Copies of this chain bind each other. A is one copy, B any other.
């Protein structure tokens, strides 16, 4: 990645593989499928089943390269993100696709651009479960978690999850291989894209903690420079909380 330097250690992000361990809070709901379709690029179609399903996911990650060196300088390994996933169909397969995402560190933004996640900057917060004291929910029935997203000094989303118990899964919208677009417009005016790829990737070495589910609520707020609020919920599905570990080590170019 950039910048390219004599020793290679100034890159905004070191080379993959990249390892992740973190807390993931997922809110699933349905919107009018037309809202999803409007976000898909040419050649990519709505999923046949439940085409209006949306997942908005908050994650608090610790991540590192194979050197592990970022882990003891945690300003370079910890970050939070909030992202929106829909499903779609391409060449006979069903994929998950990230349509919006906000992160709070530059190395995470750069990894996203590399992978086709359309990352912007935001301020992301999510309640943490606790095991001592009183300042937080426990991972059990009736406990409540909140999550918020702000960008450019406006709150864009806030969610609430009230746990009802354990769960087999942590949702279905973000459970498929990702289908992402890597785009970079030409430096010449009116000259289209210099990079326009359709890629797919999925994590390896996935290591999941126990999943919890419950009733979810979400509010989206409009803002200049954002279109997130157009994905308005017509029906809530559920919310989930789970710890997730995974490794990313490259993907495949489809087109």
Report which A residues bind B (CB closer than 8 A): 1-7, 9-10, 12, 16, 19-22, 38-39, 41, 61-64, 69, 71-78, 99-101, 105-106, 109, 113-116, 118-121, 123, 125-128, 130-137, 144-148, 150, 152-155, 158, 160, 181-189, 194-195, 197, 199, 201, 205, 207-209, 224-228, 230, 243-247, 249-253
Q: CB-nearest residue of chain B relative to A181?
A: B4
A-B contact pairs, 14 of them (CB 8 A): A4-B181, A9-B225, A21-B136, A72-B144, A74-B147, A77-B136, A105-B121, A130-B243, A133-B246, A134-B205, A154-B155, A188-B251, A194-B197, A195-B195
Asked, given contacts A39-B6, A187-B251, whether A74 binds B118 with beta carbons under 8 Å apart, the answer is: no
Query: Which of A150, A155, A187, A197 has the most chain B CB atoms closer than 10 A to its own CB?
Result: A187
Among B135, B152, B154, B197, point to the contact of A245 (Cβ < 8 A): B135
Stoichiometry, copies per complex: 4
Q: Are B230 and A6 in contact (CB under 8 A)?
A: yes
- Hey, which chain B residues are within 8 Å of A208, CB to CB? 132
Kindly list chain B residues whose C-beta atoms are within 8 Å of the C-beta of A61: 135
A125 touches which of B20, B75, B99, B119 (Cβ 8 Å): B75
- A3 lies within 8 A of B130 (CB): no
Shortest distance in angstroms between A228's beta carbon and chain B's nearest beta carbon?
7
Are B128 and A74 touching (Cβ within 8 A)?
yes
| A243–B62 CA distance with the chains assembled, in angstroms | 18
- A-B contacts besides A3-B118, A132-B208, A187-B197, 15 pairs, CB < 8 Å: A3-B100, A12-B118, A21-B134, A21-B136, A61-B135, A63-B135, A64-B134, A131-B209, A133-B245, A134-B247, A155-B155, A184-B195, A187-B199, A188-B251, A194-B195
